Structure 1
Amino acid sequence: MFDLKTFKQKSPQQRFLLILGLVMFAFYLVLGITLIAWKDMPVTLERSYRIALGVLLIVYAAIRFARVNKQKAD
């Protein structure tokens, strides 16, 4: 899971990029869930397209998380 010793050993640039990667993962995940769950969206978009876009964003968030997790292990 989260190893504080490894986190402290990283350079400030690597730490910043790790935190930025986690923030972007959370952003895409929340955006995808919001698109799926929001019934009265101000933008007119068919429900099936909203669900497809939301699922696509969630999958993209999972890919980003896998890349961040892989970089953290290296």
Structure 2
Amino acid sequence: MSYFYKREQKSPPRRFLLILGIALLVSISAFGLMILFWPKLITAMALPEHLRIGFGVICIIYGILRSSRLIFKKQTDEY
């Protein structure tokens, strides 16, 4: 039998936090992409071009870091 059959089912709070983490990852990354590729979104704030691109890149990097923490979370960590 493989390793995947021996794993226990996640508890409801842990499953909820996993779904919440995935939703946050998608929303942060989508927001960063919107800032990068939709310049009219930020015109009301009057940000210069380089600050808009930098903020979009930072949002995408933060989304990637959150996803890596979600994927590589230790098996012994409890919520």
State the TM bucket, normalised to the shorter chain: 0.7 to 0.9
**TM-score, normalised on structure 1?**
0.82
Q: Secondary structure of the equivalent of 1:40?
A: helix
Number of residue-to-residue matches in the alignment: 69
**Cα distance in structure 1, aligned partners of 2:40 and 2:65:** 29
Identity among equivalent pairs (%): 33
Tell me if 1:45 matches 2:47.
Answer: yes
Residue 66 of structure 1 aligns to a residue in which SS? helix
Q: Distance in 2 between matches of 1:46 and 1:38?
A: 14
Give the gaps of 5 or more residues in structure 2: none
Q: How far did 1:13 drift?
A: 0.4
Task: State the 4+ residue runs in structure 1 displaced beyond 3 angstroms.
Answer: none
Task: Tell me the alpha carbon deviations over residues 3-59 of structure 1, each in whole angstroms, 9 at most, x when there is no partner.
Answer: 7x95x7000000000000000001110010000011222321111101000000100
Structure 2-normalised TM-score?
A: 0.77
Larger Rg: 2
Equivalent in the alignment of 1:66:
68
